[in-house]
Structure 1
Amino acid sequence: MFDITGKKAIITGGAQGLGFSMVQAFYQAGVEVAVIDISDGIFEICDKLGADASKIHTVQADLLNIESLTKSFEEALSKLGGTVDILINSAGLIQRKPAFEFSIESWNRIMGLNVTSVFELSRLAAVEMMKQGSGKIINMGSILSVLGGFNAAAYSTSKGAILQLTKSLSNEWAEHGIQVNAIAPGYMLTTMNTDLMNDPVRSPQIEARIPAKRWGTPEDVAGVAMFLASPASDYVTGTLIPVDGGVLGR
């Protein structure tokens, strides 16, 4: 029920943080993975994992550029032998600033990567998944898909959009055997949150708010992603699963 051995996955933003943790978990579970990322760190993934290079493929691309995005998907698909069972849209941007100080250029970059690239990659993957009558698309939402956040208007707006996009695509594609779901990480121990972890005021406030009394780890998210990628979740679609230590339950 939970076996995903032999499946083929495309994971964006897999060079670090939550994305890398999912690349590691899926590779160890016997999945052949193509990683798309703009970072040069993408070329170190195999060495970091001690991985079989025939099972981990890397594609460097700027997902803010639609032409580059399309080419990167086609390259990843080709490296996987022309089929894809799992798409994980993990690439994302955040910038913490008051709304009055936020540039429209930054707004467009965040919306472009966090929403538009997810929409387009999902459509490209769904075309291939429909041919086989099955597929798993996993989007990275956030607790800010539901909460408003603070000094994060663009990011929270983009993650709210991911929740609605996930529901909409699920409504359209569930009948084709494609499950579309989203994960809502809470406060995670990643470089994206380094500023919060080092903030002497915000950090203790955040920890006090988490019922589990600890920040989450990338491994916490990877476990839920593996469930959503497995046959165990074949009747789970159009939903947002929090991985937040209980924050949204307060």
Structure 2
Amino acid sequence: MNPFDLSGRLALITGARRGIGLAIAEALAAAGADIIAVSAQLETTGSEVEKRVRRHGRDFTGHRVNFTDRAAVAGLAARLDDGDRPVDILVNNAGTIRRAPAAEHTDAMWDEVLAVDLSAQFVLSRDLGRGMVARGRGKIIFMASLLSFQGGVNVPGYTAAKSGLIGLTRALANEWAPHGVNVNAIVPGYIGTDNTRALRDDPGRNTAILERIPAGRWGVPGDLAGAAVFLASPAADYVHGAAVPVDGGWLGR
């Protein structure tokens, strides 16, 4: 048997329209999974993620959901829970970031980031995880951050949310590991996405970051694909509550 084979599995990836979510959706499809993609701005038909998934011969369903709307997130979970097929793999990738010094970081910024980056992820994991526990199997993957372990600069809401995700990963793993549900996190390093464009466009910050990364380069979304397939697969059946860095060596520096 291929321990990384996901044939017959149904995977839900949030924030799948572009960047890391898009790369993970394609990687899971290539490994055999059918895909449900969710994003706040996902096109109804013809999205890039749909094209890539179907290229691998997998089924695809797309949903547009505003992750700041808790009722909409819960409604999505309820619809999926009532569907013909249960969700086997949940990748909580959707996220946002707002940059401002802490003294100028508004309540609106804080509330938006916490809602998208932490609360919505708990709601989806709780509501879909309930069925996984009942069935005795399932994989939940959170997308953490280097700022789950470091303070960062000018991103207090993002740092708080991503730190909370590591705690949530461990809390759910403690409860659900006995029921055959694996809950883990991936810790991306500095990846070239829209969320990091401000850093890459700042010559001083860009240089300082590159000098700190042992691999000597920014990551690309595809660098996260292997870790996602591993954690979603039977190969990771005995991995619970882990935070797996994919950071070019940053945390080991």
Query: Which residue in the other structure is 1:19 paired with?
Result: 21
Map residues 26-105 of structure 1 onto 2, 5 A cutoff: 26-41=28-43, 43=45, 44=47, 45-47=49-51, 49-51=53-55, 55-77=59-81, 81-105=84-108
- CA displacement 1:108-163 (0-9 Å, x = unmatched): 11001111111110011111112320010000100110011111111111100000
Distance 1:48 1:3, change over 3 A: closer
Tell me, yes or no, if structure 1 residue 231 matches structure 2 residue 228.
Answer: no
Separation (CA, whole Å) in 1 of partners of 2:58 and 2:248: 36
Map residues 54-203 of structure 1 onto 2, 5 A cutoff: 55-77=59-81, 81-203=84-206
Q: Is the 8 A contact 2:173 2:240 kept in 1?
A: yes
Partner amino acid, structure 1, of 2:163: G
- CA displacement 1:160-193 (0-9 Å, x = unmatched): 0000010001001110000100011010011111
> Displacement of 1:59 after TM fit?
0.8
Aligned-residue sequence identity (percent) comes to: 39
Separation (CA, whole Å) in 1 of partners of 2:239 and 2:12: 20
Tell me, yes or no, if structure 1 residue 3 matches structure 2 residue 5.
Answer: yes
Separation (CA, whole Å) in 2 of partners of 1:180 and 1:49: 24
TM-score w.r.t. structure 1 length?
0.95
Q: Is the 8 A contact 1:129 1:135 kept in 2?
A: yes
Partner amino acid, structure 1, of 2:61: H
Map residues 233-248 of structure 1 onto 2, 5 A cutoff: 233-248=236-251
Q: Is the 8 A contact 1:60 1:72 kept in 2?
A: no
The residue matched to 1:114 in structure 2 has which SS?
helix
TM-score w.r.t. structure 2 length?
0.94
> Displacement of 1:77 after TM fit?
4.5
Moved over 6 A (4+): none
Q: Is the 8 A contact 1:183 1:241 kept in 2?
A: yes
Corresponding residue pairs, total: 249
RMSD over aligned Cα atoms: 1.6
Distance 1:170 1:49, change over 3 A: closer
